Structure 1
């Protein structure tokens, strides 16, 4: 048996076909992903403005762009704001998505199919259209939300919800979470259908209530799925750009800056492309740091 397994291992090592089949994908990834990242890293160590664009060459400044970014008090406020905003959106979307998934599990087939269809329609709606709908709902001149509030006896005609950053970020975060719900809900529902019914029936026989069943059986089984969903949600929500940009008419004030908006304004608003590249690189490293913990936990659970 040892000789057979050794021969199979040797044959696998000498077989070039798996590598040849994968090579086109690796080549495409290298062009699409690796080269832009290389250019981003290189640009982050250069002073690159309008004069450098005309000259066709940047001026190497070492870590000056990073030093200027880290010594800028505005950067730390924006980073803190981005982390809190991301955490809030991820928390709301995951909690509501998990709740909807559990509801789907206990629904009748007709209601489940209707909810599934609605979620798919939400997921299929283009992002620009969904943002425009939410923007219309809270518009200054005519808002359906304001009309409902007025019908309840409160006067809020021509109310600008985005003057206050708290209400503004609540609306923007709600739109982001609403767009993420279909993926989260359907993913968790699919995972719930794979939980062994024998374990649930045994827990019910032992007298466990629904909370105890979720805490001791369902959640430990679904933990890898939750880790993947949270990691993906953090990556998506951390780099939210178009929602803030469109809601605020492409003119967001500094109180609405997130890391993505800040990098864009530095690059294209002030023509400091080297600085914008440095901020973008910091953004990538921050994402890797935040999601790295969850990925390590998932790999640890997989090995166990």
Structure 2
């Protein structure tokens, strides 16, 4: 293009610049503070360093036994391998197929589930009723009841089992004596443990006795968080006591109730000491739950691998309950 053509086209039109920030982000100059890699502050690592000893202790106490249990469940360890130290042969899933194909295992599992369901239901019902009662007691009566609950909660299992063995004794038991005054002298000398249903009733009382204090104290703490003005407003609107509890009180305490009930399921599913002590360290097959069944297979039948396989199956059965508990715990934290 010649100079004449350039003059004919007129002056050049200026091209407008894009405003700052409308296009690509400006590249920081080399050596500027934005170009330097961000370093983690020392304070951010402090929480992880503080919980590190606890994590190491948990790994040492739980991780190694769990790993050993998993390995042993795929082997066939007997008394010979235990005493000689020889490596037990690998059998794969043979232990699990034998257990799952055994009708006795499913009978014990059903007994465990029924026993757990009865204990959890009664524990939560009694605990909720006592917690509601504590909200209506005077201060000093509530303190006395709380002290009694804490004392029962802190009682060693062996002491509590000895008390219940005396209460249910066939010759000198208080339960037989009280019932004999109503039903007649023929009830004296009644053995509660000849019938497994009656025996499990005594065992359930012991389990509930030890679990109710925790439930009562926890639920009472949740009930103190219920706004009283909402309950009073509902009462003024004509709602009766059950309606106030259902629509005002229950939505507030439901997360705590769910978490306590989930913990009770885990605890009562693993009941061992109560049955073991009440049956004189020799529980009959009719009183075996999954924990006792695993112990019996491992140490009485000297089939250690089969016992560990039963224990691993129990862990898998409870893992779903544990996951549900953790989800509820996380939801409660998000709400707060």
Q: Normalization by structure 2: what TM-score?
A: 0.84
Instruction: Say yes or no: does 1:44 pair with 2:77.
Output: no
| Structure ranking higher in helix proportion | 1
- State whether structure 2 residue 139 is matched by structure 1 residue 109: yes
Q: CA deviation at 1:267?
A: 0.6
Q: Does 1:237 align with 2:295?
A: no
Q: CA deviation at 1:14?
A: 8.1
Aligned to 1:133: 163
Could you tell me how far apart the structure 1 residues matched to 2:132 and 2:39 are? 49
Structure-1 separation of matches of 2:307 and 2:194: 27
Deviation string for 1:29-51 (max 9, x for gaps)? Answer: 11011111111111111111101
Determine if the alignment matches structure 1 residue 250 to structure 2 residue 298. no
In structure 2, stretches of 5+ residues that fail to align are 1-37
Task: Report how far residue 288 of structure 1 moved.
Answer: 1.3
Q: Is the 8 A contact 2:259 2:328 kept in 1?
A: no
1:185 maps to which residue? 216
Deviations 1:130-154 (A, max 9, x none): 1110110001221111111222251
**Which residue is equivalent to 2:194?**
163
> Which position in structure 1 is the counterpart of 2:113?
83
Give the total of aligned pairs.
Answer: 297
Change (3 A) 1:112 1:52: same
Residue 187 of structure 2: SS of its match in structure 1?
coil
Where relative contact order (Cα < 8 A, 6+ residues apart) is larger, the structure is 1
Distance 1:16 1:149, change over 3 A: closer
Q: Distance in 1 between matches of 2:328 and 2:158?
A: 35
1:298: Cα distance to partner? 4.8
1:174 Cα deviation after fit: 0.9
Shift of 1:303: 4.3
Relative to the length of structure 1, the TM-score reads: 0.93
State the Cα RMSD in Å. 1.9
Cross-structure match for 1:95:
125
Contact between 2:69 and 2:308, CA under 8 Å: does it hold in 1?
yes
Matched with 1:3 is none
Deviation at 1:62, TM superposition (A): 0.8
1:16 matched to 2:59? no
Structure whose CA Rg is larger: 2
Q: How does 1:133-282 map to 2 (within 5 A)?
A: 133-154=163-184, 155-282=186-313
Relative to structure 1, is the Cα distance of residues 29 and 120 closer, same or farther in structure 2, using a 3 angstrom cutoff?
same
| Contact kept in structure 2, 1:184 and 1:229, CA below 8 Å | yes
How far off its partner does 1:60 sit? Answer: 1.1
Cα shift at 1:295: 3.9
